[in-house]
Structure 1
C-alpha cells in the first residue's frame, strides 16, 4: 500500500514538473514536502543590472548627468529618474537632464523639483498623460499653469499630501475650470473653443486623497468633467475606464522600476553603518557630553560618503591641473607617445 502511494506521489510530481520554464529552478508540488520546493525568480537582465549600478553610484555621476543622459534611451532615463526620486536626489537639474519626449508619466512626488524644473520638463515631455506632484513643497499653481499650456494630453493629476501641496491644489481650480474670455461675437455658435475655455481640457482624473469638503464641492460644481478620487469599478465611470494612474493606493513610477533590485535605492554607501542603539529604559540617562559624542558620530557616518566623493573629485582635478600647467608633465606625455609610435 505504501509503495502504491509513493508511486502515485512520484507520478503527480512528474506531471507538475514544467520543463519549459525560463527560470533556473522549477516549482514542484509534492504532498510530503509542501513549501520546501519553490520556483526561483527569473534572473535580472543585463540592462537592469547596469541600471542598478548607475543608481547605486548616482551621487558620483550626478554632476555630469546632463552629458551622460544624452546617450540613454527614454525608458532608461525614466528609470534613473525614479531611482533618483527614491534616493532623495531628484531636483531641477536631474529632472531637466533626464527629461525625454517619449515619457507618458512623470512622478516627482516628495522631491525638490520646483516650478522651474517642472516647466522645463513640460517643454520637452509634451505627451505626459499622468503627473504626480504630491508632497512637492516647491511646486505652485504657477508651475501647473505653465504645465497645462505645453502638455495637452494630461489626463491624471496626483496632488496633496502636505499643507503646501494642498494649497497648490486649491489654487489650481481657477486653472482647470472653463473660463469665458472677452469676445465680440453675438452668438455662442460663432465662438471659438479657445475663447470658451483655457488649458487642461484633457484632464479627467484628480487624485487628492485628503481633499476638504469645500474644495470637493468647488471642483464638482466648477469642473464637472474632472472626477476626484475615482473608485475602482469593473464598469468604469460613466462608460470611461478608470486608468491605473488614477487609483489612490499606487505609486506612479513603480511600473518602471519593477525589475530593478530594491537595494539600488535602499543602500547608501559601500559599507552599511550600524545604527546606534538607544539606551534601555532601565539604564541611567546619558550625560550631555555622551549625547554630543553620539550625535557627532552619527553625523560623521552620514557625511562619510560625501567626503570620500569630494576627495576623489579633488584628486582628479589636481591631476588634471598638473597635466595642464606642468611643462615637464606635458613633455613626459609627449615622449611616451613618441616612444609608442616608434615601437609600433
Structure 2
C-alpha cells in the first residue's frame, strides 16, 4: 500500500512539472501572448526580401565598385542609394565621392556621422538633396562652419541637425550660432533695386531641433537667448514640447539611418569576419583642440563670414568710381548735358 502511495506521489509530481505548451524553439518564430493559452500560437518573423539580400551582397563588396559607383548609381532607386550610403558609412567607406555619387533629390534624411565627408561633399550633396529635413554630421572632423553655412542656404526645409561628438565637431557647432539666426543683413546699397535677395535674409529658417549631447553651458545659454525657437537636445514626451511632437529624428538614443538598413543582415558591414565597431562619442575627458588650431579655426570662420561683405563693398566702390568718372570727365559731362538739351528741344518741338 505504501508503495502504491509513493508511486502515485511520483506520478503526480511528474504531471505537475509537465508543460503541455512549451516555448517554441523553432528559429525565426516568436510566441504570441494569448489570454487563455499563452505561448500557443507562434508567429514567424518575416524573412528578408530579395531586394534586401541583393543590397547586402552589394554592400559586402562595396569597395570593389566604388570607382564605378557614379555610373552604377545612376539607375538605382533612391531607397537603394540611401541603403548603400548607410552601409558605406558603417564600413568606413563614406567620403565625398561616394556621397556625391549616391545623393538623390528625394532624400529627406542624411546621416554622414563619423565619416570622411568634408565641406566639399556636403555642399554638393546639399545642392542635390534640397528636401533634406534631418541631417547628422556628428563626429565629422572635416566639416566646418563654411559647409554648414552653404547647407542652410540650399536645404531650406532642414528641421533637425545632429552635431558634436568630438572636439573638432564641437568647435564647429559653436561657430554656427550666427549661421542659424535668421536676420536682415546690414546693407549700404543706393537703392532697393540694387539689393540681392541673398543679402536681405540669412539663417536656418526651418531649423527647430538641435541634437548636441555634450553641448557646453555657454553654448546652451547662447542658443536659448539668440535662437529660442531651436530646441536643444529635446526629450521624448507624450505631451510633446510646447505643443509640438518631438520627431524621432531628434531623439538622442537613435541612429538616423538605422531604419534604412533594418532588413539587411548586419554581416554586410563585417570585414574579414570582424564586425566594424560603431564610433562612440568621446568621454568628457577627451583632449581639447590646441591653441594654434583654435586660432586657425577662428581666423577661417571670420574670413568666411566677412567674404560676402567684402564682395558687396567692392561692387559699391565700382559703382561709385563709375559715377565719379562721369562727374570728373569733361567730355562725359558734356555728352550728358547735350543729351538733356536734345531731349528738351524734342519735347518743345512736339
Place the TM-score, normalised by the shorter chain, in its bin.
Answer: 0.5 to 0.7
Whichever of the two has the greater Rg, that structure is 2
1:99 aligns with 2:71: no
Distance 1:60 1:239, change over 3 A: same
Distance 1:38 1:93, change over 3 A: same
Q: Distance in 2 between matches of 1:27 and 1:250?
A: 27
Note the residue ranges of structure 2 that are not aligned, 5 or more in a row: 1-10, 190-195, 275-350
Which of 133, 137, 156 does residue 152 from structure 1 map onto? Answer: 156
Equivalent pairs counted in the alignment come to 251
Q: 3-state SS of the aligned residue for 1:157?
A: strand
Q: Specify which structure has the higher proportion of strand.
A: 2
Q: What do the CA deviations read for 1:142-170 (whole angstroms, capped 9, x no partner)?
A: 00000011000000000000000000100
Q: Distance in 1 between matches of 2:160 and 2:30?
A: 41
**RMSD of equivalent CA atoms:** 3.4
Contact 2:94 2:117 in 1 (8 A): yes
Q: Distance in 2 between matches of 1:97 and 1:183?
A: 39
Q: Distance in 1 between matches of 2:76 and 2:61?
A: 16
Return the offset for 1:235: 1.0
Which of 197, 200, 204 does residue 204 from structure 2 map onto? Answer: 200
Contact 1:178 1:196 in 2 (8 A): no
Q: Distance in 2 between matches of 1:92 and 1:47?
A: 26
Q: 3-state SS of the aligned residue for 1:252?
A: coil
Return the offset for 1:141: 0.4
Return the offset for 1:238: 1.0
Contact 2:32 2:40 in 1 (8 A): no
Q: What do the CA deviations read for 1:206-253 (whole angstroms, capped 9, x no partner)?
A: 000000000000000111110000111111111111100000111000
Contact 1:130 1:154 in 2 (8 A): yes
Contact 2:160 2:209 in 1 (8 A): yes
Return the offset for 1:182: 2.6
Contact 2:210 2:250 in 1 (8 A): yes
Which of 239, 242, 250 does residue 246 from structure 2 map onto? Answer: 242
Q: What do the CA deviations read for 1:86-132 (whole angstroms, capped 9, x no partner)?
A: 00000000000000001000000000000000000000000000000
- Aligned pairs for 1:1-344 within 5 A: 27=31, 39-182=43-186, 197-265=201-269, 267-269=270-272, 272=273
Q: 3-state SS of the aligned residue for 2:110?
A: strand
